[in-house]
A = this chain, B = another copy of it.
Amino acid sequence: MDPSQVKIPPMKDLTVDNITENVIRMNSLCEDERMKYVLERLILHLHDFARETRLSSKEWMTGLQFLTEVGKICSDVRQEFILLSDILGLSILVDSIDHPKPPNSTEGTVLGPFHTHEAQEMSPGDPISHDPKGQPLLVVCTLKDTQGRPIENAKIDIWETDSTGHYDVQYADREGPDGRCVMRSDKDGVFWFKAITPVPYPIPHDGPVGKLLKVLRRHPFRPSHMHFMFQKEGFDHLITALYLRNDPYETSDAVFGVKDSLVVDQGKAGPEYAEKYNVSEDHALLTYDFVLVSDAETSALRERNSKVALDNLGRKVKIVNGLPVPDLD
């Protein structure tokens, strides 16, 4: 790049106190307004972090080496930076920001690293798990909009571990998908299937993130849960999960995903469900009524929240492609 082509405000003599505004000015030629705003906040917080901790050169180097190790261990089947984001509470925060929910809808939670795109589409009542050691569980759910109207033909991804707490993709020698499926809701919004009772399991903790958890004296466990992902045109994508009540890790999830509204009691089928779904009366049962939010309602809520957040910073906001940038006009 020819420097004479690039106009940058002159800068020199940068100190602890003026470096931040100058780095932000150095990035001021960026033509992507959103990128420029994101970088501005990134630099401000990165610098404030160093100033407030009085970060030493040695600690800085330890931090950079840690990030290097996190990058090095990433592979096609492992994303250690997502894991790091998960245990720092960033993943659940970003999900909450990007997918705001009105009070009468199903809350979202962390996606986690084990969703795949290879699950088979199954029919109502099909077994999604073939682990003979799992406790058989009947799952019966409904899907509605915030007005209580059934949502038909939504694409629903469901995934869970086997009885040892491992997802299919964690086995090098697996033959195909198991413990996961894609279902469609029927005209009444109902979808149902046979699964196994979820069990708690540790997130991968043999890498740098595991080492960090150890230094912080934190355990790596997630409470028993089953993942659900809903896609239907006109509705905001919902990534969520159901958690079993009274799990030993219910209030200390390593990735901060548990929400009271997503904690469920596993019950027994009883006479009604036993007859309707052809299982014994004491067969384990899990039921849930999911509620999706429309795209329009989500966008409106997201924009409203953006305006409040930038207002708190004393900035006028302009929404570009659904995301806020400061309005300089």
Contact = CB atoms under 8 A, between A and B. Distances in A.
Interface of A: 1, 3-4, 6, 8, 10-16, 19-20, 22-23, 26-27, 29-32, 35, 37-39, 41-43, 45-57, 59-60, 64, 67-72, 74, 79, 81-82, 85, 88-99, 214-221, 248-253, 256, 258-261, 263, 302, 305-306, 309-310, 313, 322-324
B309 A20 contact: no
Contact of A64 (B4, B85, B215, B249): B85
| Number of chain copies forming the complex | 2
A309 B252 contact: no
B54 A97 contact: yes
A57 B32 CA distance: 18
A29 B218 contact: yes
A23 to B, nearest CB: 4
B49 A41 contact: yes
Given A71-B71, A216-B29, A42 B50 contact: no
Contacts of A252: 3, 6, 8, 10-11, 26
B16 A57 contact: no
* The 7 A-B residue pairs with the shortest CB-CB distance in the complex, in nearest-first order: A71-B71, A10-B251, A23-B89, A45-B45, A29-B217, A64-B81, A8-B252
SS class of chain A's interface: helix, strand, loop or mixed?
A: helix
16 contacts: A6-B219, A6-B252, A12-B251, A13-B261, A14-B89, A22-B89, A23-B256, A26-B218, A26-B252, A39-B216, A41-B49, A51-B97, A57-B95, A60-B94, A67-B71, A68-B81
Contacts of A263: 12
A35 B216 CA distance: 8
A53 B26 contact: no
A90 B47 contact: yes
A50 B90 contact: yes
A259 B68 contact: no
A324 B52 CA distance: 9
Contacts of A81: 64, 67-68
Contacts of A46: 45, 88, 90
A54 B260 contact: no
B53 A216 contact: no
Nearest to A250: B12
Contacts of A215: 30, 32, 35
Given A12-B258, A90-B50, A90-B60, A3 B97 contact: no
A57 B98 contact: yes
A49 B88 CA distance: 13
B98 A56 contact: yes
A42, A93, A250 — most chain B CB neighbours (10 Å): A93
A22, A69, A85 — most chain B CB neighbours (10 Å): A85
A30, A41, A305 — most chain B CB neighbours (10 Å): A41
A60 B43 CA distance: 16
